Amino acid sequence: MSIFGSILSRVFGRGPVTAPTPHPDSAVLSAPAEPEIAAGQAPAMNPFDVNALLTSLAAAHGQELQWQTSIVDLMKLVGIDSSLQARQALARELHYAGDVSDSARMNIWLHEQVMAKLAENGGNVPDDLRS
């Protein structure tokens, strides 16, 4: 499963929210029994409040995570490997045209893209989280 597909599955409740398990070959989360969800493919459900769901997860997490602005914290929150290698793979998956060695710029772009794509896939994401 793609990294974004894993994020989408976790946020939309299609997979368990657990600790990350890196894939031995690519540092991609290995998530058994999760359906493949391609970017742009809306889940079969009514839109729901992504902000409320993630805020609720963050409150129960035990570690203070700034998921509203940090792709690393967002990935940690939903139990996906947030290593540089995983974020670079996500950037390639989402067609990042910048330099993946500039992690600060890449991370900002990734967060914006993930939030926008959650909205595209049926999530109710506030405008301030998409930019």
Under DSSP, the state recorded for 35 is P
**What does the pLDDT look like over 26-62, one tens digit per residue?**
333 333 334 444 555 544 445 678 988 899 899 988 8
pTM value > 0.85: no
Nearest Cα to Cα of residue 28 among 54, 2, 55, 66: 2
Averaged pLDDT for residues 71-75 = 97
**What does the pLDDT look like over 74-121, one tens digit per residue?**
999 999 999 999 999 999 999 999 999 999 999 999 999 999 999 998
78-87 residues labelled b (16+ CB within 10 A) or e (exposed): bbbbbeeebb
pLDDT of amino acid 65: 94
